[in-house]
Structure 1
């Protein structure tokens, strides 16, 4: 069999059943591997692969052999529905939005930018680097919806932090009706009971969401992904995989080669290192970064979007953010704390005295580590105490234990058992006598707020860096406020994925009993904590502006309905040294707020773009007693280099009219869905009471056994309760969004309503039933008095694919013929035909004689010939010229990249002795360049080749 015979969208027959081709892969021996979806009764909704070398009975339907059948339905309902369903199931192309705007979110142009920008690339692959709380998940949903509409989103894998797997999965389902199977530890355990041991879950489930750590740590899953390919992979919080030398980074680099489209998201997309940011961009496009590693904004600009709240001018969007309130709470330290901290300060001062000026300049150079151990010990002790006395106490206890185990002591403070015990005694005294000023102030503030942990009290998020501090707060709050276990919960990275997700979901529900959520910084990334919560306490102040912004962004984000009130507990002392140290920490909070109100990106302050590096910077400020420590460091790259700084954000790619005009035979979606359901009932393809429009916008559909079987991979939480067994779909966005809000009231609930639109799996199922109800090789015929007498107008769908099996031309047009023979006029676009002859209006059913059908059937060979030579051939020629121009541009870019790579190769190894190690490195570099060139060159050639024959399908015939 020849590759030119097949095209995506073509119908084939094999073993007596009918299938729809969804993808094509050419094998090395010239045979073809066909991806297909069953459309006849026995195989309906199931996915298959056919190897043309093995399957000898595969027949593709010749449009010239189409059987013409008279439509006898009132108003030719069946013809119109079949044609409309073909239009809606058609894959769309171009630079506009076709379906995502109908999903359950308040549309704003800025949300469309990432998808529209991605469509300008040969492969839709992009980094979404919008600021904290701006709604990156919705932007991902828009991209997924549009790719599914384009026939390029069948297989999807999302990688997210384990704490937000459920949150992400629920958001994408509730708003876009895109089902993701959650492979957390519970989901994996369930799969083991449902699937055979050797079954690859990534082949069984088309759309999944999983933690990258689960993939990284599970050898079996690593084996599974090596055998799989995806249409789209999404990596949320992608800065966690930016280091290619880490396990996460290595895995992400590999996954980038296993998908057509890639979406990376992060509010902190680089750490100031050119290499790590280059790793992200190279995952998107390997040839974007020169092999020298020396790149600028022009190299990476096509592959990212980045905006902050200040850049969003849409008033409706801005109304979904609230102006936050910052509340500093000063805590004058007690006498006992002064005693302890004065000892800490003494250690720091004496350590500084032993370091000469040159050593101090290289304070964080590991070569001088032995000489500065006491200095670093004093800073670590201070940092621990700034979290809580228990954190400092436990830190000292662990140090004493290590000294005893090793048996090694020294004159250093950190190895001085006597001094450590003295410090520990001071801490125990503070804890025992409740002389911890910060906790006492915190408790008094809660009392001032009228908070006592009652069910009607406000719920509060409390951030603290140390796990010991969380335990300390839990014990004291439980005792002082007589709280129950359900009232106060603790969230940290040591919890399992199931425990983390359960806590996040519970806290976001109105019926939650949690009044205080104590969380480490494991809860500072990606987690939604703003539902029913607008109060937050930074119990300790992180020594990083990036971490501080991430914390605050948990309640200060898109969709917050109340004023976010963010409290800082700040120690206060008049003692020299301590006073300065406390001011330095308070200045962090002031700077974060200052930047929040102006630039929008706190990482631009230190220009270090890494939380650990910022912590080191603050340590240095404390050592040097430098309150004005926001001087600019010089990183490899900065936000200004990559993202243009505050005055030059990502250019908007939204067109004046970003939403594509819709071609339809119906006045609105509701009319089509009503007619669709009535037709299926009339043909007994669904029970009379299986579906019902309760009102013009609200549809109820029973979850029948057949539907439940076909939709086996929907998240179980998204399915109707067994007792009711009804899917509720609405055309009204407000209804669905209110349902999403209502679901937040009760733990375990998902939204009861979803959007009634073409991407909903239930609607896709019904559309497939309607499409399959018209037999293969059949086109419906309607007699229409408004078209010219003595003519017949054949509605044709033409598709042509590239060498990757991707459909690049998909066009509906009409071939007008004379009943007496010959062409009546040139083929016309379907929309012109509909408009000219009122096909979208009520049609009058007329008698169709068998002789008429015979006459029309005899014309089919000529119709197909005219459709090919006068329409599709011309379309393909025009498209091929466009593609050849694009290919020339891509090839020039590849040649430049290869030339630069080879020049760099010669420079790098010119003066080096050719040892075995160097020789291996040279070979690896040569192999890398050759592989990228070979794969990229062949990919672009296949992408921009249009040598396959067009597939034609006769949809309907209108004659008079």
Structure 2
């Protein structure tokens, strides 16, 4: 790169105005790529207004406009409306610096301001980490989805969230999309089965949906297809979110390969899991490597300091959480284990299982396959779900049997069991009668609103319950819905959304464990019934967390139904299962993490242990540890307890909430609706007129906290990326209704669950700071000035004063620091005599200029030629002042970069001392990539922009 070109590139920083192809553009971000400097811009000129584009400096001539040559123009609009809008829009388009830990937009979204969630956001944004990378490991129910939305909101405000990918299990795609849009005004295109089909109709088959859409939410199962992996290799993301990230830890899986690919191509990485480790240090180390390849030394043992740096973990009874949730998370009631006496047909099955399979004479079961001591408990597990489930299990086993004497013996025993199960199916199981009793106790009946979720493992059991419950409860058939993993993703999402809505006919959700992870079922429900008890503490906790979570206002009640046959040995064995519910409740209170009790961190692994206990091979106390034993252990569970779960000195009543400490706007407008209202009045002759008459049918109703408009064509085009079901249900392209206060926004969000149209989308969308309507309004306001112009206005100053904004950026195009200052000229005849004053924020600078409130405009400021001479002088003095300010900021970044480089050097040194194993060589590549990223974090560009020329209210002419 030539010296002249390098100097030109030094002016290409976010906020600078450039001319490309004879059109004027605002630079929003820049990045160094393998093909040279890539500049992302927003159109300002007449032909490119409302357009975004990206240009390579090596291919297009990019001419930065000289800030010192800016032309002064007078603002004659009423109350300086044009200048106010332009200033506010400039502020909103200027990214918050990387090192600013203040929360700005996330605390003004449609979510409760919970201090423990804000702590997670601050940790993710901690400048000491250089890149936002974190494992959100909060226990079930604390609101990891909201934490994700808050972090993404702050990244967007920092200019680091243009391209975002969210990867979730398929049954929570719509839930995640709903939360991101309804609460944070972050629209994501959902690529479920229906969404992919829709995308294929709109774009060429060879084009990647990830290049077509900037923000996408997709399931990991869909993303794993070879077609998408090929596209992903070419995509760079500002942020990637992977939910249920414990599924990534096994290096031999496609999930892990996909996660590695995304990690390499993502600036920010957010992993989320309530079960952050599986007890194996090497698996947990792999998760940490995804976040930071140098966090785990080459020997594979991560230090407690690194775990604490990259992981955040709290649970329901952590002091920080308990002190914040209050009545918005009611304490669960003591769980109820209900023993149910078996019917005679069920006792016949139990005796056959006991005498032939579980405790056979001679100790040999008829099972002809492997694990002969455990397979009988597979049959018992199916029976304890329902006779129908046992029948299906036996039929499938018979189909798989081969030939030979051993197979013939097993087939004969299985057929006897099949006959007993088939005979029992027409009779209603004893547990079913107990379930009816529980549902009637809850109040589930025709005309009532009470609801319950019933969990069972086997699909045969679910189908049997769905078939019989409506008639026996006197309910219409649609009042009982069934959900299991065999349903299509959009059907699963439809059922979950219906269960949240008050006016939906569903009263009982009968579901398998597909609904045990990530799904929120607490909006209209506080009763959960385990029709069969999982043989896994993890699964019990996951199920319970569907209704026992933040936002649950009624104490949740957990009921477990457990069959008790007359066969004493069998009954004694399965009483073990009742204790699992009790142990889960104990761990929930003390640890917030039941997985550590058994130390398997895997549902299948826990089930095998419980089978061994039931088979008499192990004792329950040897398999399930106590809370005290977990705390004292020297493995990962003990480390997590000491780092995150040990009782703190601070009691819940001593936790002091921290107020939000940033601003969504500059302070020129008291709220978002005031800014939007003024922007519309500036953009349209009469915004209240219909669209055909240069208006948008704008209406405000302050009494009810709403406003509405008919989106014009250019706004409608932007709204195309909003959730498709939202666009269809609320017809927002015909009329967009906005909730203008958070109180109204929450009210409409809650009301959506009671809406008779059966839409879970709010009929009035909350106008949060990141709302696309506001972004559209900002772009219109920025177009009020022609190329390289600055407004002249009046204010509370003693002499002409220029307001300037300085930004310091790094090679990655990220804003490292900003500086707001004024240059005052006490004597116009001597412009070199300048008083430069720095301010902590735009709000503080504007207050100093008398622009803290709306001002009357008596007319255009005169003598612009004399004011014009002040601009180059102000820019020169400001640059000198900012060099000192930015020197400190640059030194701080350089210090952190140097610390990071030393970490990478230490990793390399240790790696050199070890055998160059294949996996170590692969890790070295990731560490080298990290080194290149760290180097690019050093600041290298300064930009000074004059924003406003303010003269005294009564002009003097020296």
What TM-score does the superposition give when structure 2 sets the normalisation length?
0.90
Per the alignment, in what secondary structure is the counterpart of residue 72 of structure 2? strand
Q: Which residues in structure 2 correspond to 1:852-863 (within 5 Å)? A: 852-863=863-874
**In structure 2, do the counterparts of structure 1 residues 401 and 76 end up closer, same or farther at CA, with 3 Å as the change threshold?**
closer
- 2:955 counterpart residue number: none
**In structure 2, do the counterparts of structure 1 residues 737 and 828 end up closer, same or farther at CA, with 3 Å as the change threshold?**
same
Per the alignment, in what secondary structure is the counterpart of residue 615 of structure 2? helix
User: For residues 928 and 621 of structure 2, what CA distance do their matches in structure 1 show?
Assistant: 53
Bigger shift: 721-730 or 208-217? 721-730
> 1:702 Cα shift?
1.9
- 1:473 counterpart residue number: 465
Q: CA offsets per residue over residues 270-295 of structure 1, 9 Å max, x none? A: 11111221121111111111121122
- 1:750 counterpart residue number: 761
> 1:207 Cα shift?
0.9
Aligned 8 A contact 1:244 1:253 in 2: no
> 1:300 Cα shift?
1.3
For the pair 1:931 / 2:925, whether they are aligned, the reply is: yes
For the pair 1:141 / 2:140, whether they are aligned, the reply is: no
Task: Pick one of 852, 855, 875 that aligns with 1:864.
Answer: 875
User: For residues 716 and 353 of structure 2, what CA distance do their matches in structure 1 show?
Assistant: 66
> 1:678 Cα shift?
2.6
Q: Which residues in structure 2 correspond to 1:274-289 (within 5 Å)? A: 274-289=281-296
User: For residues 649 and 213 of structure 1, what CA distance do their matches in structure 2 show?
Assistant: 40
User: For residues 583 and 918 of structure 2, what CA distance do their matches in structure 1 show?
Assistant: 46
Q: CA offsets per residue over residues 852-876 of structure 1, 9 Å max, x none? A: 211122232222221212x222222
Give 5+ residue unaligned stretches, structure 1: 356-362, 364-368, 907-921
> 1:742 Cα shift?
0.9
User: For residues 701 and 5 of structure 1, what CA distance do their matches in structure 2 show?
Assistant: 39
Task: Pick one of 381, 385, 388 that aligns with 2:386.
Answer: 388
For the pair 1:36 / 2:41, whether they are aligned, the reply is: yes
**In structure 2, do the counterparts of structure 1 residues 348 and 531 end up closer, same or farther at CA, with 3 Å as the change threshold?**
same
User: For residues 741 and 391 of structure 2, what CA distance do their matches in structure 1 show?
Assistant: 58
- 1:679 counterpart residue number: 682
- 1:17 counterpart residue number: 23
User: For residues 610 and 548 of structure 1, what CA distance do their matches in structure 2 show?
Assistant: 12
Task: Pick one of 699, 711, 725 that aligns with 1:692.
Answer: 699
Q: Which residues in structure 2 correspond to 1:576-655 (within 5 Å)? A: 576-624=568-616, 626=619, 628=621, 631-632=624-625, 637-644=635-642, 646-647=645-646
- 2:82 counterpart residue number: 78
> 1:501 Cα shift?
0.8
**In structure 2, do the counterparts of structure 1 residues 723 and 178 end up closer, same or farther at CA, with 3 Å as the change threshold?**
closer
- 1:704 counterpart residue number: 712
Task: Pick one of 216, 235, 238 that aligns with 2:245.
Answer: 238
User: For residues 768 and 443 of structure 2, what CA distance do their matches in structure 1 show?
Assistant: 47
Aligned 8 A contact 1:243 1:276 in 2: yes
> 1:812 Cα shift?
2.3
Task: Pick one of 60, 70, 78 that aligns with 2:64.
Answer: 60
> 1:138 Cα shift?
0.8
Aligned 8 A contact 2:103 2:661 in 1: yes
**In structure 2, do the counterparts of structure 1 residues 828 and 596 end up closer, same or farther at CA, with 3 Å as the change threshold?**
closer
Aligned 8 A contact 1:798 1:811 in 2: yes
Task: Pick one of 429, 432, 438 that aligns with 2:431.
Answer: 438
- 1:303 counterpart residue number: 310
**In structure 2, do the counterparts of structure 1 residues 822 and 927 end up closer, same or farther at CA, with 3 Å as the change threshold?**
same
User: For residues 395 and 295 of structure 2, what CA distance do their matches in structure 1 show?
Assistant: 51
User: For residues 663 and 489 of structure 1, what CA distance do their matches in structure 2 show?
Assistant: 50
**In structure 2, do the counterparts of structure 1 residues 173 and 222 end up closer, same or farther at CA, with 3 Å as the change threshold?**
same
For the pair 1:564 / 2:556, whether they are aligned, the reply is: yes
Aligned 8 A contact 1:813 1:827 in 2: yes
Per the alignment, in what secondary structure is the counterpart of residue 612 of structure 2? helix
User: For residues 445 and 860 of structure 1, what CA distance do their matches in structure 2 show?
Assistant: 78
> 1:390 Cα shift?
1.4
Task: Pick one of 922, 935, 942 that aligns with 1:941.
Answer: 935
- 1:792 counterpart residue number: 800
> 1:677 Cα shift?
3.0
Q: Which residues in structure 2 correspond to 1:530-569 (within 5 Å)? A: 530-569=522-561
Q: CA offsets per residue over residues 608-657 of structure 1, 9 Å max, x none? A: 22222211221111111745455439999433313526325799999955
User: For residues 478 and 844 of structure 1, what CA distance do their matches in structure 2 show?
Assistant: 69
- 1:203 counterpart residue number: 211
Q: CA offsets per residue over residues 182-234 of structure 1, 9 Å max, x none? A: 111111101111112222211121111110100113x2222221221111111
- 1:900 counterpart residue number: 910
Aligned 8 A contact 2:184 2:768 in 1: no
For the pair 1:510 / 2:502, whether they are aligned, the reply is: yes
Aligned 8 A contact 2:350 2:565 in 1: no
- 1:909 counterpart residue number: none
Per the alignment, in what secondary structure is the counterpart of residue 112 of structure 1? helix
User: For residues 888 and 361 of structure 2, what CA distance do their matches in structure 1 show?
Assistant: 75
> 1:955 Cα shift?
1.1
**In structure 2, do the counterparts of structure 1 residues 843 and 227 end up closer, same or farther at CA, with 3 Å as the change threshold?**
same
What TM-score does the superposition give when structure 1 sets the normalisation length?
0.90
Per the alignment, in what secondary structure is the counterpart of residue 889 of structure 2? helix
For the pair 1:456 / 2:448, whether they are aligned, the reply is: yes
- 2:819 counterpart residue number: 811
Give 5+ residue unaligned stretches, structure 2: 953-958
User: For residues 300 and 597 of structure 1, what CA distance do their matches in structure 2 show?
Assistant: 23
Aligned 8 A contact 1:163 1:500 in 2: yes
User: For residues 927 and 609 of structure 1, what CA distance do their matches in structure 2 show?
Assistant: 29
> 1:547 Cα shift?
0.3
Q: CA offsets per residue over residues 782-839 of structure 1, 9 Å max, x none? A: 144x422xx3211112222111121212222212223112133134325554334422
Aligned 8 A contact 2:79 2:854 in 1: yes
- 2:178 counterpart residue number: 170
> 1:331 Cα shift?
0.7
> 1:683 Cα shift?
9.3
Aligned length: 916
For the pair 1:328 / 2:337, whether they are aligned, the reply is: yes
> 1:418 Cα shift?
1.6
> 1:479 Cα shift?
5.5
- 1:826 counterpart residue number: 836
> 1:480 Cα shift?
4.1
> 1:700 Cα shift?
1.9
- 1:659 counterpart residue number: 661
Task: Pick one of 300, 323, 326 that aligns with 1:293.
Answer: 300
User: For residues 32 and 600 of structure 1, what CA distance do their matches in structure 2 show?
Assistant: 48
- 1:914 counterpart residue number: none
User: For residues 318 and 579 of structure 1, what CA distance do their matches in structure 2 show?
Assistant: 41
> 1:604 Cα shift?
2.7
**In structure 2, do the counterparts of structure 1 residues 605 and 927 end up closer, same or farther at CA, with 3 Å as the change threshold?**
closer
Per the alignment, in what secondary structure is the counterpart of residue 558 of structure 2? strand
User: For residues 659 and 214 of structure 1, what CA distance do their matches in structure 2 show?
Assistant: 40
> 1:707 Cα shift?
1.0
- 1:152 counterpart residue number: 160
For the pair 1:888 / 2:898, whether they are aligned, the reply is: yes
Q: CA offsets per residue over residues 419-463 of structure 1, 9 Å max, x none? A: 1111111212222344x32223323444555545x2535322111
Aligned 8 A contact 1:643 1:649 in 2: no
Q: CA offsets per residue over residues 453-500 of structure 1, 9 Å max, x none? A: x25353221111111211222333355456544222211111111111
Bigger shift: 651-660 or 315-324? 651-660
- 1:213 counterpart residue number: 221
Per the alignment, in what secondary structure is the counterpart of residue 324 of structure 1? coil
Bigger shift: 377-386 or 591-600? 591-600
Aligned 8 A contact 1:281 1:288 in 2: yes
Task: Pick one of 162, 177, 184 that aligns with 2:192.
Answer: 184
User: For residues 724 and 807 of structure 1, what CA distance do their matches in structure 2 show?
Assistant: 35
Aligned 8 A contact 2:708 2:735 in 1: yes
Aligned 8 A contact 2:26 2:42 in 1: yes
- 1:126 counterpart residue number: 134
| RMSD, aligned α-carbons | 2.8
Q: CA offsets per residue over residues 517-570 of structure 1, 9 Å max, x none? A: 211101101111122222221010000111001111112222223332222111
User: For residues 27 and 578 of structure 1, what CA distance do their matches in structure 2 show?
Assistant: 67
Aligned 8 A contact 2:805 2:819 in 1: yes
**In structure 2, do the counterparts of structure 1 residues 4 and 565 end up closer, same or farther at CA, with 3 Å as the change threshold?**
same
**In structure 2, do the counterparts of structure 1 residues 15 and 399 end up closer, same or farther at CA, with 3 Å as the change threshold?**
same
